[in-house]
Chains A and B, each alone.
Chain A
């Protein structure tokens, strides 16, 4: 097992390095550079200013030179400097990663809390009104655009009822009050949850339906086991295997951010930051965020594999 984990971690590092170069290459293929943005907003910039800045930022160097310098800094623990915000990347990125983690985790937990019971209920009441109703609810979640849902929630709960703030991450008057953050989390969490709840319901329902078709379920019912035991111990445990993949991979996204929801609610998350940094050619911010996202996906794939063996003793990892 330990050997397996070691080799998987080694594999992860290789994949991260290879992907980092590929992404760096893609970012560099994009037209324009950060200096272009300065020209657009300042009519007094001269061609000499433009040339000087390109040299200073190293934008005139080859892709290999730029990548080597960047990876060298990363290995030394220097995440670089954000050319958009003019501060070290760690100062802008780390607080936002924390905010995104809180929002994404709340949304994920809430959606699982709603989706798993509803998915099981839909499977147990297959082709009944309950199943159709749950189906309608889940398809609503899958097909509702996040910006529309976010705006509706703001209009109802922020503008009309004034129950929750329309935007923000925390109270500006009292930023250190962690409980005071809750009202700011409610609407974006509801938006994000509703978007994923439908997917989780459909997945749980189909996994449960698959599990309920098995002979051992019929045997368990025939030998008179209580219904709850049949559902949770025999059916759900087997449905869990496919759910593990989906849930663990969803957890890998808790640091990636939700660009649209964060933008609509002016929530200081990493999604909007990454989007802006890609558009603004702020390579350092974009690359570090990308590396975190890739690492999370690879790490949670490993966790999923480990959880398989826990959920199903027949699976052994070598």
Chain B
């Protein structure tokens, strides 16, 4: 028996050491992520991790770079009204946009990428039996035309022009020569195309990808391996193999890094507090890793339910903001690596402003908070809480249960509100319940803390307009959870969607921000930061801080 055990242990050790040796090649990068990914069909995918992976193997017409600037990817240049690439009719009812594709843009089987692929993608996206998430960019395009002699020059025709016509960061083409027969065969069945697309049936098929890398293996729930695409004619990637490995437990990501199972942790890995802790340990122990922090467009905030009679009073809402020391909060909890939010637009966005003449700022001012509450008729009782007509100034405060960072924020804020006489009761729910019913059906009675993921110059229609207040009447659609309704704001949102002049849009956005900050129906907390842990020898890697991830620039990464 002893012999058998020793033989088993010996064989096991040999196999495991062999695995370690095999995976330590210099030109290989193994990236750890903690979020699940789905099939890599660029039209169907909806998970952040899938987009992260897909951006290494496929490109969109354009993308946002790390400076928040739109740059062409599959397109030669970005058409605009200013450069003549787009033409708006005199009555502003028709728009034609010419997208010139890169001459060398090809699929990874060598087939040229042409307007036919774009038109096919448009057709699939609009088919009622295909379940794609965001369809607006396709719905806005009426048709895509091209001259057969020049299949790289595509004309997009719009009958309801919008100013953001050239922000095609989500327009990722499908290869018509491979996917068209499948689509034609399955389009009459609901979900037929999704089930039978080659991205599901044979994801390593040559011709499905057009980026610097191509897929060599996909195991859902485990890993994806990539190698350079020989038909990619842009900058040749220097890393010869990339493996993206799913490690669902963030607590074990660090152990996997230290045991050399992975080389780096992507922004879809560690939580912020884990990254801060690892950063300190890496410095103390002299580990060969760098922890990167990058302010992002993710906006952490507290929605106030305006149906609550207490919160109907603007002075009370303002007092709630003045009473909290957000500077101290970000220093204490995030070591200043996440910055205080002043409204819903992050500094990375061209619409951002911190000009006190344009918006209302709320620096910490306990005395002012107390004065505002006094003015609103809420006076201090013997128990140090405030009362008005016998009613206690008491609010419930909800967030996602089990989120350590948010729970720490709640505790700090609860103390600060208590100091001005406001009783705050914490009532947390699992994310599933909080976002499933509580926010969607506006069942929170006081305050709810969560985050919005945004993109630069994002239309605030779904969060600010009166129509976007979820109700039974509108099928609980819209994300205006506070229930804020201001006809002036609605008017500006309408104008904003139709304004083609970038400078005028900025002015309109600032007008909106004035209402947003002055009416104080949301308490801005902080702009979150993206975090990643990379090996010191990895160069050319820049976090972007927005939904178009750094993997769009994977060909710039190199291992030294």
Chain A residues with CB under 8 Å of chain B are 30-33, 36, 38-53, 56-57, 81, 84-88, 91-92, 96, 147, 150-151, 154-155, 158-159, 162-169, 171-175, 179-180, 182-183, 186, 263-266, 268, 272-273, 276, 279
Contact = CB atoms under 8 A, between A and B. Distances in A.
Contact of B252 (A39, A154, A169): A154
20 contacts: A31-B433, A32-B440, A43-B452, A43-B454, A53-B131, A81-B195, A85-B36, A86-B41, A87-B38, A87-B39, A92-B221, A147-B251, A151-B251, A179-B15, A182-B12, A182-B15, A183-B13, A264-B249, A266-B248, A268-B222
B262 to A, nearest CB: 9
A31 B44 CA distance: 24
B135 interface: yes
Contacts of B468: 47
A151 B15 contact: no
Given A86-B194, A87-B220, A172-B225, 19 more contacts: A31-B433, A32-B433, A41-B47, A42-B453, A43-B547, A44-B136, A51-B475, A53-B131, A56-B131, A56-B191, A86-B200, A154-B252, A154-B255, A158-B256, A162-B260, A165-B261, A166-B256, A172-B223, A182-B8
Interface string B228-258: 0000000000000001011111011001101
Contact of A32 (B128, B135, B432): B432
Contacts of A164: 12, 16
Contacts, number: 198
Interface in B342-362: none
Nearest to A57: B131
Contacts of B170: 44
B131 to A, nearest CB: 5
Contacts of A50: 477
Interface stretch (B18-26, B78-86, B143-151, B514-522): B18-26
A44 B222 contact: no
Contact of A36 (B190, B217, B436): B436
A73 to B, nearest CB: 12
Interface in B8-58: 8, 11-13, 15-20, 22-23, 36, 38-39, 41, 44-48
Contacts of A169: 222
Contacts of B245: 168, 172, 266
A31 B436 contact: yes
A182 B436 contact: no
Nearest to A276: B36
B133 A42 contact: yes
Nearest to B30: A172
B477 A96 contact: no
Interface in B446-494: 452-455, 458, 462, 468, 474-475, 477-479
B134 interface: yes
B11 A182 contact: yes
A33 B247 CA distance: 25
Given A42-B133, A85-B36, A163-B16, A266 B247 contact: yes
Contacts of A81: 191, 194-195
B408 interface: no
A155 to B, nearest CB: 6
B328 interface: no
Given A43-B452, A154-B259, A182-B11, A38 B46 contact: yes
A56 B444 CA distance: 29
B213 to A, nearest CB: 16
B12 A186 contact: yes
A32 to B, nearest CB: 3
A174 B22 contact: yes
Nearest to B137: A44
Contact of A183 (B15, B243, B438): B15
A179 B252 contact: no
A7 to B, nearest CB: 39
Contacts of B47: 41
Contact of A31 (B20, B22, B256, B437): B437
Contacts of A179: 11, 15
Contacts of A49: 133-136
A72 to B, nearest CB: 14
Nearest to B21: A173
Nearest to A266: B247
A36 B440 contact: yes
Q: Which of A43, A46, A186, A264 has the most CB atoms of chain B within a 10 A radius of its CB?
A: A43
Contacts of B223: 172
B129 interface: yes
Contacts of A272: 221, 248
A32 B436 contact: yes
A169 B221 CA distance: 11
Contacts of B19: 165, 171, 173-174, 180, 183
